[in-house]
């Protein structure tokens, strides 16, 4: 019963990450209008946010293995709180961009620490547990665009969305200040941290999550703006985006026990193929509200298990340096999250957002190719990832 209760704060932390990552795409059109800037300029929000996340997530992993994982996790929640507050109240676009940078740093610390900390608490079926915990990232990502849509209808704006995020993050920080998480065992040596980067599997996992982020973050960042260009009202476009995140949330809840039966590696490759098919159909077929909802939901559902299952692979493969291994996987995810949506804004300004969206399935195809390579190495070296125990 105690462990069941302890899982709740991890749910809240993943909701904070989801709110921070998915809210940007929904508010981009209003931000561009308020500050009178082009898509290429307002797209720097993705760049600054991703830069903070990108730099902090690998640093957090190293600090977590050398110092203390729980302290770094709490620091991340505090920095996220400060970033949300700055976005909510600071008046100028440069200060808002700086706040997105700070929020990105905080989210990077949270994201790097939440999986190894949870893995140390919930030792039975860690992959299933991580998928369930990460489902609440989908809840936060689902809530942000739908909440923004509701606020727009009621006459409020994008700053009000981030004020709500600020309050929620404050509550999460207060809960995590209670000493309910056991401290990490022996600190790792720096030599061990360097040795993990000599393993080819770690680099291939990194490329897998890099192109996963390229597809998902580009879709998340520019879908609302793309639909607005196609004649869909801004608030309705945010609702369509929310169905993508609903698919991610439900997919992690439903597919996590299934993956234990068919094998984690088989699951993520099948899910990758499904995501490619669904998003390609969304872009190729004539737009219809019902089919768009189903295809966006299907895209999120099929892509749902890829990040938590890959992180679980990293934790199982490198148990001596769990923070560094998981943060490297997420580091590449963050690299794609800030680089590809920013490039999407540049392409959208120079050509069209239609071309930007075409890159989504292309990135997912590249992800699948690296998964195939990972499968070859995984069968030789890490049998636990395919549903077996390490020998």
Mean pLDDT computed over 302-320: 82
Residue by residue, what is the 3-state secondary structure of 23-92?
HHHHHHHHHHHHHCCCHHHHCHHHHHHHHHHHHHHHHHHHHHHHCCHHHHHHHHHHHHHHHHHHHHHCCC
Mean pLDDT of the chain: 83
Band (388; pLDDT cuts 50, 70, 90): very low
Most confident of 33-37, 162-166, 185-189: 162-166
Which whole-number Å values give the CA distances from 276 to 9, 165, 224, 343, in the listed order? 33, 32, 20, 21
pLDDT of residue 283: 92
Neighbouring C-beta atoms of residue 200, cutoff 10 Å: 11
pLDDT of residue 305: 86
**Exposure string (b/e) for 32-58, b if CB count within 10 Å is 16 or more?**
beeeeeebeebbbbbbbbbbbbbbbbb
| 111 vs 387, residue with greater confidence | 111
Separation CA 169–CA 176 (nearest Å): 11
pLDDT of residue 299: 96
| Angle, vertex CA 205, rays to CA 259 and CA 181, nearest 5 | 70
The rounded radius of gyration (Å) of the Cα atoms in the chain is 20
DSSP 154: T
Global pTM?
Answer: 0.75
Calculate what percentage of the chain has a pLDDT beyond 70: 88
CATH class of 10-385: mainly alpha
Separation CA 265–CA 19 (nearest Å): 29
Least confidently predicted of 26-40, 63-77, 331-345, 362-376: 26-40
pLDDT at 367 over 60: yes
pLDDT of residue 385: 39
pLDDT of residue 303: 93
Separation CA 252–CA 250 (nearest Å): 5
| 294 vs 58, residue with greater confidence | 294
pLDDT of residue 267: 80
Band (378; pLDDT cuts 50, 70, 90): low
pLDDT of residue 193: 66
Domain ranges of the chain: 10-385
pLDDT at 187 over 90: no
pLDDT of residue 182: 62
Mind listing the pLDDT tens digit for each residue in 11-50? 999 999 988 887 787 788 888 888 877 777 777 887 788 7
pLDDT of residue 308: 85
pLDDT of residue 4: 65
pLDDT of residue 41: 76
pLDDT of residue 1: 43
Neighbouring C-beta atoms of residue 388, cutoff 10 Å: 10
| Helices 126-153, 234-262: crossing angle, 10 deg rounding | 170
Q: Are the beta carbons of 338 and 46 closer than 8 angstroms?
A: yes
pLDDT of residue 214: 92
pLDDT of residue 234: 66
| 374 vs 367, residue with greater confidence | 367
Calculate what percentage of the chain has a pLDDT beyond 90: 26
pLDDT at 362 over 90: yes
Mind listing the pLDDT tens digit for each residue in 89-126? 888 888 988 999 999 999 989 988 888 888 777 767 66
| 337 vs 96, residue with greater confidence | 96
Read off the tokens for 183: 């401290």
Mind listing the pLDDT tens digit for each residue in 41-94? 777 887 788 788 878 887 888 888 777 888 899 999 999 999 999 999 888 888
Mean pLDDT computed over 258-263: 69
pLDDT of residue 279: 94
Least confidently predicted of 31-35, 329-333, 340-344: 31-35
pLDDT of residue 260: 63
pLDDT at 300 over 90: yes
Run of H or E including 202: helix 200-229
pLDDT of residue 126: 66
């Amino acid at each position: 019963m105690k462990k069941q209760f302890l899982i709740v704060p991890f749910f809240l932390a993943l909701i904070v990450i989801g709110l921070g990552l998915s809210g940007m795409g929904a508010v981009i059109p209003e931000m561009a209008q308020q500050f009178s800037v082009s898509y290429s300029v307002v797209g720097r929000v993705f760049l600054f946010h991703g830069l903070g996340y990108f730099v902090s997530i690998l640093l957090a992993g190293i600090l977590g293995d050398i110092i203390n994982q729980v302290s770094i996790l709490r620091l991340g929640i505090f920095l996220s709180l400060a970033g949300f507050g700055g976005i909510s109240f600071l008046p100028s676009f440069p200060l808002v961009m700086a706040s997105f940078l700070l929020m990105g740093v905080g989210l990077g610390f949270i994201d790097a620490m939440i999986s190894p900390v949870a893995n140390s608490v919930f030792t039975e079926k860690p992959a299933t547990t991580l998928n369930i915990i990460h489902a609440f990232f989908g809840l936060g990502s689902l809530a942000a665009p739908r909440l923004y849509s509701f606020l727009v209808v009621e006459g409020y704006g994008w700053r009000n969305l981030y004020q709500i995020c600020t309050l929620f993050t404050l509550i999460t920080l207060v809960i995590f200040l209670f000493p309910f998480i056991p401290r990490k065992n022996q600190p790792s040596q720096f030599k061990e941290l360097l040795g993990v980067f000599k393993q080819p599997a770690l680099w291939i996992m990194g490329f897998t999550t890099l192109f996963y982020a390229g597809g998902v973050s580009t879709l998340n960042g520019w879908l609302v703006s793309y639909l607005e260009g196609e004649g869909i009202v801004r608030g309705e476009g945010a609702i369509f985006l929310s169905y993508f995140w609903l698919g991610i949330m439900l997919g992690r809840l439903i597919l996590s026990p299934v993956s234990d039966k068919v094998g984690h590696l088989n699951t993520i490759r099948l899910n990758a193929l499904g995501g490619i098919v669904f998003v390609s159909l969304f872009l190729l077929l004539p737009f219809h509200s019902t089919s768009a909802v189903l295809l966006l939901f299907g895209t999120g559902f099929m892509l749902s298990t890829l990040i938590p299952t890959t992180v679980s692979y990293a934790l199982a493969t490198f148990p001596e340096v769990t923070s560094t291994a998981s943060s490297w996987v997420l580091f590449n995810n963050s690299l794609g999250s800030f680089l590809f949506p920013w490039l999407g804004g540049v392409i959208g300004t120079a050509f069209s957002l239609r071309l930007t969206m075409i890159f989504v399935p292309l990135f997912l195809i590249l992800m699948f190719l690296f998964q195939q390579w990972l499968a070859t190495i995984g069968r030789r070296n890490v049998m636990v990832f395919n549903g077996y125990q390490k020998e």
